[in-house]
């Protein structure tokens, strides 16, 4: 696929090796993804978390699953191709199908799922929300509304041998964020800092506008793209607890 060009992958993804115990392996597209599934509540509600492009599942194992367990939720940490212990190499478009296969691997019915995407992970969380329309919720932290804008910051169409028109057509075909959000019927929570230095807060505002009710946006005054949680921990956790509490079935 055009947007899986090696130059895009090298410019946009920053995988690293990181081992951990008890990996939850998901087979997809000929690759094996080393996810992590903490499910203390059989047949319960599950949050599926997609991390940022400079992170790995191992970064979240000690923090997110225990936090969500306290709120009564299972947690499935999704991994990407080439990240952590996973096989393969990152590929922007191919990883859309990977995200769907990860969601299908969760031991929860659609109505008990919440998709949670941080930064680049928002692309995959929103993609799942557009397909699993009856999922309970969608959480987007420091998320991306305009994928085209983000790609053009790093790669020009001519560098991958295509015209701008062809490039735009490919982005619209696979990364039409507005269309995906329009199909989602669950609740949405948007989390962003007012002073995000990497992904402008205008992305959060656009995501909020495109989302259907019920929806909530929390715009934090402290921190930036990579320290949003730590600089706003109390308010962040309160928003998460209220949102998940409202939609838990």
Percent of the chain with pLDDT over 70: 100
Q: Which domains does the chain have, with CATH numbers?
A: 2-247 (3.40.50.1820)
| pLDDT-based confidence at residue 249 (cuts at 50, 70, 90) | confident
Q: What is the pLDDT of residue 57?
A: 98
pTM of the prediction? Answer: 0.98
Q: What is the pLDDT of residue 227?
A: 97
| pLDDT-based confidence at residue 94 (cuts at 50, 70, 90) | very high
Q: What is the pLDDT of residue 131?
A: 98
Average pLDDT of the residues in 213-217: 98
Cis peptide before 155 (omega within 30 of 0): no
| pLDDT-based confidence at residue 147 (cuts at 50, 70, 90) | very high
Average pLDDT of the residues in 20-49: 97
User: What is each CA distance from 133 to 84, 117, 180, 214, in whole angstroms?
Assistant: 30, 16, 9, 14
Encoded tokens for 216 = 């909530």
Q: Is the pLDDT of residue 151 over 80?
A: yes
Encoded tokens for 144 = 């991306």
Q: What is the pLDDT of residue 100?
A: 98
CB 27 within 8 A of CB 105: no
Residue 241, phi then psi, degrees to nearest 5: -65, -45
**Where do the DSSP E strands lie in the chain?**
24-28, 31-38, 46-50, 74-78, 113-118, 137-141, 187-193, 215-220
Handedness of CA 141, 85, 30, 39 (dihedral sign): negative
User: What is each CA distance from 207 to 76, 135, 147, in whole angstroms?
Assistant: 24, 18, 12
Percent of the chain with pLDDT over 90: 97
Q: What is the pLDDT of residue 177?
A: 98
| pLDDT-based confidence at residue 1 (cuts at 50, 70, 90) | confident
Rounded Cα gap, residues 57 and 50, in angstroms: 9
Reported as a single tens digit per residue, the pLDDT across 159-199 is 999 999 999 999 999 999 999 999 999 999 999 999 999 99
| pLDDT-based confidence at residue 35 (cuts at 50, 70, 90) | very high
Rounded Cα gap, residues 120 and 196, in angstroms: 14
Q: What is the pLDDT of residue 107?
A: 82
| pLDDT-based confidence at residue 153 (cuts at 50, 70, 90) | very high
């Amino acid at each position: 696929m055009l947007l899986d060009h090696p130059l895009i992958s090298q410019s946009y993804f920053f995988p690293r090796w990181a081992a951990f115990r008890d990996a939850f392996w998901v087979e997809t597209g000929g690759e094996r993804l080393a996810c992590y599934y903490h499910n203390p509540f059989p047949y319960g509600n599950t949050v599926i978390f997609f991390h940022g492009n400079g992170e790995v599942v191992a970064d979240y194992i000690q923090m997110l699953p225990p936090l969500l367990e306290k709120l009564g939720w299972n947690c499935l940490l999704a991994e990407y191709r080439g990240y952590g212990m996973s096989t393969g190499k990152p590929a922007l478009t191919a990883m859309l199908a990977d995200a769907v296969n990860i969601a299908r691997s969760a031991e929860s019915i659609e109505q008990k799922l919440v998709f949670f995407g941080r930064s680049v992970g928002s692309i995959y969380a929103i993609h799942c929300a557009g397909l699993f329309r009856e999922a309970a919720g969608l959480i987007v932290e420091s998320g991306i509304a305009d994928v085209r804008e983000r790609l053009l910051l790093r790669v020009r169409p001519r560098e991958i041998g295509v015209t701008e028109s062809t490039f735009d057509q490919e982005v619209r075909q696979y990364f039409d964020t507005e269309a995906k959000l329009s199909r989602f019927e669950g609740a949405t929570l948007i989390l962003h800092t007012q002073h995000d230095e990497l992904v402008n807060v205008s992305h959060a505002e656009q995501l909020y506008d495109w989302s259907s009710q019920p929806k909530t946006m929390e715009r934090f005054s402290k921190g930036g793209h990579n320290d949003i949680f730590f600089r706003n921990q109390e308010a962040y956790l309160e928003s998460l607890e209220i949102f998940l509490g409202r939609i838990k079935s």
